[in-house]
Amino acid sequence: ASTTYRLNITCGATVSSNIITVNTPAAVQGVFTIDRLSPASPTNFQSFNEAYNYISCGISGNVTFNVLNGPYNEQLIMSEVPGAGPAATVTFNGNNQAITFASSNSNERAVIKLNGADYINFNDLVVNAAGRTASQYGFGFQLMNDANNNMINGCTINIDPSETSTNYAGIVISGSATSATGTGTVLCDDNIITNNNITGG
């Protein structure tokens, strides 16, 4: 709910600031586009991260993003979306458009990372993990920290076939942010991974 605040400063006497109102944005639902070639608008976002920022305060029903006019050069890291559940999912329909990223951060190795995010669906998206050097990494997708009830379907994940270390992997579910094979408490349940084509890793 929208809430009013003021600051009271006491140094002998108390002085109050002006009252300000912090408005909470309405929860989101509906169909949107991610189209970098079209102007930003209430229904179009020019990047995956702009779209994610729009829903990060909460959703109240199903949200669909139709991806157009790639490629997109960015990394998408999603945490839990408030309100997401069986009747309020977030779906990215990739339409065979590409998202590409070369990570040099050992803690954020994936092009797309679901860090505790639930009920997120990716369909028909091309994911290019573009890392090529000893100081870069290349996970396509990474799920961790109770990322549950997600779906990766019909996606194409490309990694340099010459890379043979575990710093490069197509789809990772592990107990470690820095290892594709790390053991520990994984707790990622009821995820569906189907009909994907992974090259390299």
Query: Hey, is 4 helix, strand or coil?
Result: strand
Say yes or no to pLDDT of 1 above 80.
no
Mind listing the pLDDT tens digit for each residue in 93-103?
999 999 999 99
pLDDT single digits (tens) 137-186: 899 999 999 999 999 999 999 998 888 888 999 999 988 888 888 776 66
pTM for the whole thing? 0.87
Q: Do 198 and 170 touch, CB atoms closer than 8 A?
A: yes
Judging by beta carbons within 10 Å of its beta carbon (0-12, 13-18, 19+), is residue 3 exposed, middle or buried?
Answer: exposed
